[in-house]
Amino acid sequence: MDAVSLGGFAPREGGLCMDLAKILERRGKAYFIGIKGTGMCALAELFHHAGLSVSGSDRSEVFYTDGILKEMGIPFHETFDPAHVPPGADLAIHSAAYHGESNPEMAEARRRGIPLVKYADALGAYSALFDSSGIAGVHGKTTTTAMTGVLFRALALPARILAGSAVEAFGGRSTLILGEKYLAAETCEYRRHFLSFCPRRIVLTGVESDHQDCFPHYEDIRDAFAEYTLLLPPGGSLIYCADDPGAREVAGLTKQKRPDLAFVPYGFEAEGPYRITDYSVKDERACFRLAGLSPPGDGVFVLRIPGRHSALNAAAALALAGLLVREEFGSWTGEHSRAAVRALEEFTGSRRRSEITGEAGGILFMDDYGHHPTALRSTLMGLKEFYPRRRLVVSFMSHTYTRTAALLEDFAESLLPADLVFLHKIYASAREQYPGGVNGRRLYEKTLEIFEREKKEGGVFYVDEPEEAAESLKGLLREGDLFITMGAGDNWKLGKKLLAEYGAPPKGRDP
């Protein structure tokens, strides 16, 4: 494959973009340090598909990506050793989790003069070779990217997709390869990583305070997203959620500086073709119409995953697909609508996003990555709407001290839709030290206070180690319940343990 002609775009002059184009063109060698990470594994797969000789290293702990790498025949080491860096390597890509001063392979790459780049920069250079769309936002970007992939496939768009989690519809991988013209990729705001991406279009799902360790105030993260939108080229498109105050504010700030861009709102409050109408839920299905994109007659879009936020994510993916279909084929037809309906109705979600992990003893077990109050609230409300006859039992493990401290009351209030709540210690991040003050027990006390204030029936419990809550839960769970583990921590192990004890093997592989 001629990498320089990917997507019909010439690589940007100078720097990593040009270097990567040359490496792809001559099918060079790329070494991935931290290759088992979701994004790293996905990028390794894309490079492997492009004909590069790909190898890498990581820890010995088994991840779901082990199986993907083995299926592709990509060799990897399970220790870090300077001798692992292959002779003649053209490029070494490292996960943001590793640093040169502590990783011997990164030090070796520098010693040998091998270009050493972060994952975000490598993805950015790759995106410059395509007509690329970046999917961004504090919430919803993984599901939106996954939905984008199934829509692109149904609509025969020649594209590649990179999502931030494994997607069942992608064969359990995070990538989907459909062609060589377009790229749609999930892009991350943490430490402004998305500023390395080269977008022609951006989908913006929502903006609010998060990652307080690098964005102490809302204005900091808002301005980072605004800076990202300003990377759009003349005539580029910003697709944004009209229901989200932060996304609307970023769109307004961008419009002041870049009136040359196309601004495409979507959502229940949007004006134009991507306004959601006639939303309803029945028999564990959500139905809605889009003002300018629904099938002819009485046709509706149908989702098998819960929540109004899922309808918003679908509308975002449909808006992006709609723009590309019109560019590629000239118009959006009734046949395109029908193909999109089929694709969305078959979509079953992505890993750790309201993922059904099994059912046993009449109890439905789920797992969800939601780790921000807005995500918790919208997910729990969606589950109550989808499963009105089930009692909702939640295990939540908060992630990072800074986020928990900054949003303590919001976290407690976000859990109000649940019938029973089990809280645990905070899942610490390697990027921060415990500052004292707020911890898991403090979140429990605030949640209990708010439940009592709202006269909320049910109960709030605290068990420091998640798996130690299994015995208590076995005495409380009953037939007909929905039990869900939530958060970016490792309390998913509690759900796995309970499911096994109730007599059913868990679905799929561990996170």
In a domain, 459, yes or no: yes
Are 79 and 209 found together in one domain?
A: no
The tens digit of pLDDT for each residue in 444-458 reads 999 999 898 888 777
Identify whether residues 391 and 460 lie together within a single domain.
yes
Q: Percentage of the chain surpassing pLDDT 90? A: 59
**Are residues 268 and 205 both part of a single domain?**
yes
Which domain-ending residue is among 70, 91, 118?
A: 118
Confidence bin at 19 (pLDDT 50/70/90): confident
Residue 511 domain flag: no
Describe the chain by its helix, strand, coil percentages, rounded to 5: 40, 20, 40
**Which stretches of 304-428 are assigned E, i.e. beta strand?**
355-360, 363-368, 392-396, 420-423
Q: What is the CATH number of the domain that holds 480?
A: 3.90.190.20
For residue 489, what pLDDT is reported?
A: 83
- Cα gap 164→17, rounded to integer Å: 22
Question: How many Cα atoms sit within 13 Å of 364 on the Cβ side?
Answer: 14
Judge whether 421 lies within some domain.
yes
Residue 191 domain flag: yes
Query: Strand runs (DSSP E) across 218-275, as ranges?
Result: 237-241, 262-266
Are 65 and 43 within one domain?
yes
> pLDDT-derived band of residue 425, with 50, 70 and 90 as boundaries?
very high
| 510 found inside a domain | no
Residue found under tokens 């690329």: 132
Distance, CA of 40 to CA of 53 (rounded, Å): 15
Q: Which residue has the higher pLDDT, 256 or 361?
A: 256
Q: Residue 337: which CATH number? A: 3.40.1190.10
Tell me what pLDDT residue 416 has: 92
Helix axes 119-127, 38-49, angle to 10 degrees: 40
The answer to whether residue 21 scores a pLDDT higher than 50 is yes
Does 105 share its domain with 168?
no
Question: Same domain for 369 and 426?
Answer: yes
* Distance (Å) of CA 477 to CA 157, 251, 353: 46, 45, 22
Q: Determine the average pLDDT of the residues in 419-423.
A: 94
CA–CA gap between residue 387 and residue 381 (Å, rounded)? 10
Q: Which of 57, 89, 118 is the last residue of a domain?
A: 118
Residue 13: pLDDT band with limits 50, 70, 90: very low
Q: Let me know whether 134 and 112 are in one domain.
A: no
Q: Once rounded to an integer, what is the mean pLDDT over residues 60-68?
A: 88
Check which CATH number belongs to the domain holding 49 and give it.
3.40.50.720
Which of 307, 329, 346 is a domain's end point?
346
Instruction: Check whether 509 has a pLDDT greater than 80.
Output: no
Confidence at residue 510, expressed as pLDDT on a 0 to 100 scale? 56
| Contact indicator for 152, 130 with CB cutoff of 8 Å | no
Within a domain: residue 462?
yes
Does a structural domain hold residue 506? no
Task: For residues 269 and 217, state if they share a domain.
Answer: yes
Which domain does 389 fall in, by range?
355-501
pLDDT score recorded for residue 186: 94
pLDDT band at 212 (very low <50, low <70, confident <90, very high): low
User: Do 442 and 299 lie in a common domain?
Assistant: no
The total number of structural domains in the chain stands at: 3
**Cα 360 to Cα 233, 365, 477, 497, distances in angstroms:** 52, 8, 11, 12
Same domain, residue pair 320 and 441: no
Same domain, 75 and 151: no
DSSP H or E run through 33: strand 29-33
**Ranges 29-33, 165-169, 280-284, 386-390, most confident:** 29-33
The tally of CA atoms less than 13 A away on the side-chain side of residue 114 is: 26
Task: Report d(CA 366, CA 352) in Å as an integer.
Answer: 8
Q: How confident is the model at residue 299 (pLDDT cuts 50, 70, 90)?
A: confident
Average pLDDT over residues 206-213: 79
Let me know whether 161 and 303 are in one domain: yes
**Model pTM score:** 0.83
Residue 425 lies in a domain: yes
